[in-house]
Amino acid sequence: MKWECKRVVIAGGGSDMGVACAKKLLCQGAKVVLIDISESLLAKADGLKEEYPEGIWTCIGSVVSVSDMEKAMAFAKEKMGGMNVLINCAGTGGRGTVEEMRPESWQLALDVTLTGTFHSCRAAIPYLREAGGGRIVNVASIGGRANRPVNTGYSASKAAVCGLGRYLAKELKADRITVNTVAPGPINAGMFKASEGTEDAEMQKARKMLEETVVLGRLGEMDEIADGILYFVDDAAEAVTGEILDINGGAYMC
Ligand SMILES: NC(=O)c1ccc[n+]([C@@H]2O[C@H](COP(=O)([O-])OP(=O)(O)OC[C@H]3O[C@@H](n4cnc5c(N)ncnc54)[C@H](O)[C@@H]3O)[C@@H](O)[C@H]2O)c1
């Protein structure tokens, strides 16, 4: 299937990762729907909407809500004429040690990251099946693969996303739907990206500490993670399912 035939839904699509994937997909002729809880984050795609008026749509919805996700997938089908790819980027919460963490933060991590991925997959599967097959790519984290400092709820929810992906790959094999997971290491995003070029000593110290946790000695770039996600969407990955791709600069070796 050529890139022009890809009909892609990105949940948590207002994230820098969602927008980075959308850019790469659109310039190859794919169509994209971004779903996110944050209207202001979805506005990051306004420029892409101007550039590709027939290629990208946005939809407000929470992955925590079953009905929001059902409505969002129906919206995607209406706008794109179907869907054959789902990328799950939504994730949040759960930072801190078990003793420090508020139970609400633990619950938020599980609700958005794990249950949200489940709701999104569940709502998308009938459309992927209707398309005759497709791809699901879930975004986990190094936190779900190895011990990282003070990330208990986040790490537990991301580890569960890895488990969900492997199980779903088996469940959907007869439907020609592959399910894979990308587990990024620390990325040059958010506060780190925003502070680039500034003299902020605290930020530089935090960045250096993080950089020292990976063999390559630098943070990953969002485009590098997007390339990993799109590998699983590419026709070249037809025979790949149930896999986890670690893009972490060699964090396991530190
Ligand atoms: N930035 C990193 O260093 C890093 C490292 C490893 C993994 N990740 C993972 O990559 C993904 C993207 O992260 P990011 O750094 O681009 O930014 P991010 O934290 O901004 O991405 C999270 C996105 O999820 C959305 N979201 C939150 N709750 C939602 C809900 N209930 N319904 C729908 N959307 C919701 C947010 O609005 C946001 O757009 C996340 O899953 C994150 O955990 C990030």
Instruction: Give 11-70 pLDDT, tens digit per residue.
Output: 999 999 999 999 999 999 999 999 999 999 999 999 999 999 999 999 999 999 999 999
pLDDT at residue 148, as a whole number: 74
| Known active-site residue 231 | no
Q: What is the pLDDT of residue 134?
A: 98
Give ranges for CATH 3.40.50.720 in the chain. Answer: 3-185+221-246
Rounded distance from Cα 90 to ligand 1 centre (Å)? 5
Res 93: pLDDT: 87
* Lowest mean pLDDT across 2-11, 113-122, 195-204, 238-247: 195-204
In this structure, the number of other CB atoms found within 10 A of the CB of residue 97 comes to: 11
- May I ask the CATH architecture of the domain 3-185+221-246? 3-Layer(aba) Sandwich (3.40)
Distance 92 CA to ligand 1 centre (A): 6
Residues of the chain above pLDDT 70, percent: 99
Nearest to 38 by CA among 90, 116, 108: 90
Q: How far is the CA of 55 from the centre of ligand 1 (A)?
A: 23
pLDDT at residue 147 above 90?
no
Distance 193 CA to ligand 1 centre (A): 15
Q: What is the mean pLDDT of the chain?
A: 95
Mean pLDDT of 110-121: 98
DSSP code at position 253:
G
**Predicted pLDDT of residue 196:** 82
Decide whether any atom of ligand 1 lies within 6 Å of the 12 Cβ: yes
Do residues 161 and 225 touch, judged by C-beta distance below 8 A? no
- Of residues 28 and 253, the one with the higher pLDDT is 28
- The verdict on the CB of residue 195 being under 6 Å from ligand 1 is no
CB atoms within 10 A of CB 38: 14
Residue to mutate (ligand 1; options 42, 69, 89; most atoms within 8 A of CB): 89
Ligand 1: centre distance to CA 50 (Å) = 24
The catalytic position among 52, 127, 154, 167 is 154
- Ligand 1 atom with the smallest distance to the CA of 139 is 41
**What number is the average pLDDT over the span 64-89?**
98
Nearest to 179 by CA among 112, 115, 244, 119: 244
Q: What is the pLDDT of residues 166-211, one digit of tens each?
A: 999 999 999 999 999 999 999 999 888 888 878 888 888 989 988 9
239 three-state secondary structure: coil
* pLDDT for 194: 82
Q: With 90 as the cut, is the pLDDT of residue 254 above it?
A: no
Greater confidence, 163 or 199? 163
Q: Do you know the residue count of the chain?
A: 254
Per-residue pLDDT, averaged over 119-128, amounts to 98
Q: So what's the pLDDT on residue 31?
A: 98
Question: Around Cβ 171, how many Cβ atoms within 10 Å?
Answer: 13
Contact between 64 and 83 (Cβ < 8 Å): no
| pLDDT at residue 197, rounded to an integer | 79
SS3 9: strand
149 or 43: which leads in pLDDT: 43
Residue 19: enclosing H or E segment and its boundaries?
helix 16-26
Q: Looking at ligand 1, which residue's alpha carbon is closest to its atom 36?
A: 12
What is the pLDDT, as a whole number, of residue 177? 98
**Does the C-beta of 144 come closer than 6 Å to ligand 1?**
no
Is 68 close to ligand 1, i.e. is its CB under 6 Å away? Answer: no
Alpha carbon nearest to ligand 1 atom 20, residue:
15
